[in-house]
Amino acid sequence: MTAHARAGAQAHTAPADDGARHDWTLDQILALFGLPFSDLLFQAHCVYRRTFDPNQIQACTLLSIKTGGCPEDCGYCAQSIHHATGVQAQKLMSVDDVAAAARRAREAGSGRFCMGAAWRSLGERNVDRITDMIKAVKAVGMETCVTLGMLTGDQARRLKAAGLDYYNHNVDTSEAFYSTIITTRTYQDRLDTLAHVHDAGIKVCSGGILGMGEARADRAGMLMTLSNLPHHPDSVPINMLVPVAGTPLEDAGKLDPLEFVRTIAVARILMPGAFVRLSAGRESMSDEMQALCFFAGANSAFLGDRLLTAPNTDRDADMRLFERLGIEIMPPETADAAAE
Ligand code: SAM
Ligand code: DTB
Ligand code: SF4
């Protein structure tokens, strides 16, 4: 472990919520958003350095274990049956195929393997296959994350018993804007699943999407929800909308890249101990924009050719960018220690 990594890991082994606030008001968060850009980035970067090594990022790999055919109507999603996007529905993958994909990801240097299913909720008949997948990926030596839609408390406890590390369940946007994007479930449904996940002792991964036509107050509202949870999420993915033809949001328009960077910076200030992930949409970002996001406190990314259905940035291009920035990929064992 490098000295930097050691310092980062040690600083982070303090409880993630140590000294962090859970009582942010919307006005206070909007005041952060409204700072001069350099002041905001300076403040975020100082917070970042206190908790993490700013020259290391965590590498995660995504795999769609069950694609398409989802009954939910999320306005951004290629996998909803409500939108004609041309995505072919596929059955739940076999445990062997998932384990083989995890081994390839581990060999490519990834520390966390995130398995996504296009489900509204986890069906009882699939629980055993999912727990077998979790055990198989753990056996490869990777951290496990799944995102399977809504969970009951009992299901969350069974996933935990199988060794699950993280559950991804995004609030996606502010409570006020939510019903503009999704009508088939409520914001409270999302919060209930997050509570089940946390209560079962699984680490929470929750964030959202920017560029869906929301206002700055919605971006601030989303971060207020996340940072005022009883425990901050351990991972906060911030996705830039990947516009998908056939979805209601295909023409949502481009968000100002500097506003995206501001959102990363505010997330870092509000949730100092979280891995803030620069998630979907990196393919449409310039190297300079990504560099600003890393400076502002983003310290996790999906590597590999694909996200779930959308393409991701080319691995070689990512490696060249990290080299130009002097950023190392966090060794999986360091990422594990930092996440404890
Ligand atoms: N069905 C599960 C659910 O919704 O929780 C898990 C999979 S779902 C695809 C995971 C997350 O991916 C969504 O909550 C959303 O934040 C993100 N996502 C999906 N489509 C996206 C898109 N086109 N652009 C950016 N993010 C997207
Ligand atoms: C998250 O916040 N982003 C990832 C992961 N969690 C599951 C998914 C991004 C999906 C991008 C669109 C697609 O591939 O279909
Ligand atoms: Fe289904 Fe998840 Fe896509 Fe919504 S985001 S349509 S729940 S796969």
pLDDT one-digit tens code per residue, 15-30: 445 568 999 999 999 9
Could you give the angle at the alpha carbon of 271 between the alpha carbons of 162 and 306, nearest 5°?
A: 55
280 C-beta closer than 6 A to ligand 2 = yes
pLDDT for the residue 257:
98
> Which residue from 63, 64, 66, 72 has its CB within 8 A of the most atoms of ligand 3, so it is best to mutate?
72
Higher pLDDT, 128 or 331: 128
User: Is-catalytic flag, 60?
Assistant: no
pLDDT for the residue 63:
96
Of all protein residues, the one whose alpha carbon is nearest to atom 3 of ligand 1 is: 149
242 C-beta closer than 6 A to ligand 1 = yes
Token pair listed for 247: 């979805």
Helix (H, G, I), strand (E, B) or coil at 76: coil
Tell me what the mean pLDDT of segment 131-135 comes to: 98
For residue 14, pLDDT over 60 is answered with no
Could you give the angle at the alpha carbon of 302 between the alpha carbons of 21 and 63, nearest 5°?
A: 115
User: Is-catalytic flag, 46?
Assistant: no
For domain 25-338, the CATH superfamily is Aldolase class I (3.20.20.70)
pLDDT for the residue 2:
33
pLDDT for the residue 69:
97
The band of 333, judged by pLDDT with boundaries at 50, 70 and 90, is low
Higher pLDDT, 10 or 123: 123
User: Is-catalytic flag, 77?
Assistant: yes
182 C-beta closer than 6 A to ligand 1 = no
pLDDT for the residue 127:
97
Rounded distance from Cα 210 to ligand 2 centre (Å)? 12
For residue 1, pLDDT over 80 is answered with no
Tell me what the mean pLDDT of segment 203-232 comes to: 97
Tell me what the mean pLDDT of segment 163-170 comes to: 97
Q: Do 68 and 118 meet the contact criterion of CB atoms below 8 Å apart?
A: yes
Tell me what the mean pLDDT of segment 222-228 comes to: 98
For residue 335, pLDDT over 70 is answered with no
pLDDT for the residue 336:
55
- Collect all residues with Cβ–Cβ distance below 8 Å to 128 and sequence separation of at least 6: none
77 C-beta closer than 6 A to ligand 1 = yes
* pLDDT tens track for 168-186: 999 999 999 999 999 999 9
CA dist 110 to 54, 61, 67, 224, 336, Å? Answer: 18, 6, 22, 30, 12
Q: Do 304 and 110 meet the contact criterion of CB atoms below 8 Å apart?
A: yes
Q: Do 98 and 133 meet the contact criterion of CB atoms below 8 Å apart?
A: yes
The band of 222, judged by pLDDT with boundaries at 50, 70 and 90, is very high
* pLDDT tens track for 30-42: 999 999 999 999 9
The band of 108, judged by pLDDT with boundaries at 50, 70 and 90, is confident
Report the C-alpha gap between 263 and 42 in whole angstroms: 14
Lowest mean pLDDT among 79-93, 103-117, 190-204, 287-301: 103-117
197 C-beta closer than 6 A to ligand 1 = no
Q: Do 76 and 212 meet the contact criterion of CB atoms below 8 Å apart?
A: yes
pLDDT for the residue 334:
54
Report the C-alpha gap between 149 and 152 in whole angstroms: 10
Residues in contact with ligand 3 by the CB-under-6-Å rule are 70, 72, 74, 77, 79-80, 118, 120, 149
Q: Report the percentage of the chain scoring pLDDT > 70.
A: 92
The band of 85, judged by pLDDT with boundaries at 50, 70 and 90, is very high
